[in-house]
Amino acid sequence: MAALRYAGLDDTDSEDELPPGWEQRTTKDGWVYYANHAEEKTQWEHPKTGKRKRIAGDLPYGWEQETDENGQVFFVDHINKRTTYLDPRLAFTVDDNPTKPTSRQRYDGGTTAMEILQGRDFTGKVVVVTGANSGIGFETAKSFALHGAHVILACRNMTRANEAVSQILGEWHKAKVEAMTLDLALLRSVQHFAQAFKAKNVSLHVLVCNAAAFALPWSLTKDGLETTFQVNHLGHFYLVQLLQDVLCRSAPARVVVVSSESHRFTDINDSSGKLDFSRLSPSKSDYWAMLAYNRSKLCNILFSNELHRRLSPRGVTSNAVHPGNMMYSSIHRNWWVYTLLFTLARPFTKSMKLLACYDQWSINSMAVGATNMGIQPS
């Protein structure tokens, strides 16, 4: 059991738990067999269930299979710098003669982004994540990079963005990751980013609109718009419009917009039911930080839905996601009251690794019955 914990495979189903004295092994071509140390024999069938199993998928990124001097296969985890004779894919075996699948839930509230992408190979895929130097954006970018994608961190602060790139490369030196300047509070910067990205002549398979501002004091951007509205919604809206042709050429592709459950607690229509533009970019006298955030998140939802309606026939899908209630991140840093509130709530909140799984699940959902994305394991 200690060896199982070392390989991260100790969380097994009771049905598949081996009797004492038995060990699970794999062949070079991916078949699972069982060794009985007491009787010094091996067999293909599981000693309890009688099922035959084989390995599913490729090794996780950072792992390599090697053979020792005795011809025994072992596995090297270069990211965590460890070696084990247990195949890390043993947690993801499939029956040789599969039976009808159960309705057991695959993912839950404890699932991390890395677990969502387990077994997925994003080699050759290009991913852009806004606000990726910290928080949910960083965990999302890191997870994609460690699974082979070419990831671009689109950030305002290049010092912090480059530090994030270095951190990812520190976990896996072969990761293909870079940082580019993007200031959503300046539409000219959005335009420059789109031009610089297009100059690379690469595809764009996934665009994660993650960056956001929260609890800002009232201010106008250089474009004359209220800052929360422009950073959270309009900047991303403009970015997608500028990259729309690249997304369509790269189809199947996907846009993920990180929204919030707080979109339910506001309205952007006037008393007659028509859109009130003054609510989107309010004057200082009509401004309330929380309401401005809620309205920007409602705009995210509406934008994502309409984008999906327009572009899905061209192979580009769009999803809006809610990352979780009262999560602990640096988004609250603009006002001490919210900092205090989030600090008190921190023991009851999700980690960034858990929150990022919502972005990853949206990307990976095609592997659970929806194949319209086309991003499949190699």
- The residues annotated with a catalytic role in the active site are 293
SS3 (DSSP) at 357: helix
Instruction: Say if CB 26 and CB 87 are below 8 A apart.
Output: yes
Encoded tokens for 129 = 């994540």
Q: What are phi and psi of 335, to 5 degrees?
A: -145, 135
Q: Which residues contact 355 (CB under 8 A, 6 or more apart)?
A: 135, 136, 139, 323, 324, 327, 329
DSSP 8-state secondary structure symbol assigned to residue 230: I
Q: Which residues contact 116 (CB under 8 A, 6 or more apart)?
A: 107, 143, 357, 360, 361, 364
**Helix axis angle, 187-199 relative to 235-249, nearest 10°?**
20
Residue 272's alpha-carbon distances to 111, 120, 263, 282, in angstroms, are 44, 49, 20, 19
- Looking from the CA of 275 toward its CB, the CA atoms found within 13 Å total 7
Query: Among residues 198, 196, 112, which one has the least CA distance to residue 147?
Result: 112
Instruction: Say if CB 26 and CB 73 are below 8 A apart.
Output: yes
